[in-house]
Structure 1
Amino acid sequence: MWTSLAAIGWGAAAGWLMLPALYRLSVPTGTPWHASCPDGHPLRTGPRGWLAGPRCPQTAHACVSRRATTAVTTASAAVCGLLAAVTGPRPELLVWLLLAPLALLLALVDARVHRLPDVLTLPLAAAALALLGPASLAPDAAGSWTTALLAAATLGGLFLVLFVISPRSMGFGDVKLALGIGAVLGWYGWRVLILGVFAGYLIAAAHGMTLLIRRKATARTALAIGPSLLTGALVGVALGAAAG
């Protein structure tokens, strides 16, 4: 119980801390990141700028709406709480709690501007593999670092092939995202990897069909697949942890 409560608190705090990054990175591909607030005032640079909170330092006006702030912190807390509940006090839980806010940030940026920035996708993959290595050596670890590494390479290679075949249906950012998704799903084995990726595509298909039915998209509308893949990864990790 205390583990879940601590995870929920961490998730809420991490969700609030990533709000400046959500605002700054929510720009179209090829566009410089937001260096100023919506009112035009310059934002802080360096590490302090990313941890300064979602407000302009001069006017104290929020760069992210109150509704979005509530939604992001709540979602981050819920995801971390879920992971804590299904994983329990196993060493990989610390890895999941560190990666979850970053994955949520990626999903939100992609949903907003159809972009998966390298500053998020590549650190996600690197952090997953770097942190799961020591976790695999700890007592009671429920996964395999070797399988995580192989799964990251396999899924990344598969997405690369799909990108080369049909670059219109998949962006190169999705290829980089596949490295991190492959690592976290592969930790629990190949069956979980397949299940998580399948769940992601199923969620994407359901989302697309819903938009078509509601006439908010057409067959030619480009949809961000990153949020669906990351949600599928969450499903896979949760099921793998529960069965581990």
Structure 2
Amino acid sequence: MRKRFPSLSALSYGTHWPTGKRIAIVTSAVAVLLAIAAVVALLTGGGSRRQAPGAAAPTPTGSPSSTEAAPKPSSGTGSVPPPPQIAEPVAYAKAAAQMLWSYDTRNTSRDQQLVGMHAWMTGESAYADWISVSGQVPDPVLWSRMADQEQHATASVTEGHFPSAFKQALADDPSAITKAYIYVVTVNGKQQIAWKKGGGGAEERAVTLAVQCRPSHDCALAAIAPSVTQ
């Protein structure tokens, strides 16, 4: 049987979030509303890890970085695309999800991957949860094993939408969004994974993102929520 190797986004999909700042990243979308409690409950959802479907389940061991500091400048960003100039939250979230589900260890180092991903983040430190994003990247040892197998992945997005809890909270008080202009968006799609000697597989993907889109500014990624809402 052909050995399967791990997909990037399958690893630590939604690690446990501590209280305080990390929860505030998502709840800031409808801050100062009593309705936030319902949104937080749905978005934190116990912080359970999301594993890849059995069709491409990882076999190597290793933990992704859950405390990754902001990356230092690197020699380029490899295969990671630059953030697009998009001012609409759903469109930006779809582009961000596609970026997160795509990688190429054949021409991109782990440091380059992190630098490229960090470029998508909001520059407002009060709302940027880099740990939730960098936690998608395998640790250095596992990344090296993936590179040995020339593992790479492409992704396609099927749809993106505002979760019902977010829409309801926003409808209850439309002015709440004006504090941070952070929108919660759920994106669904598919990831195609391949490695040398013809190995490969496909996985369905879903992720909920917190995206900041201030008026007259391009959007930026704020955080990855630990669970997918409807």
TM-score normalised per structure 2: 0.30
Of structures 1 and 2, the one scoring higher in RCO (CA 8 A, sep 6+) is: 2
Structure number with higher helix proportion: 1
Structure number with higher strand proportion: 2
TM-score normalised per structure 1: 0.29
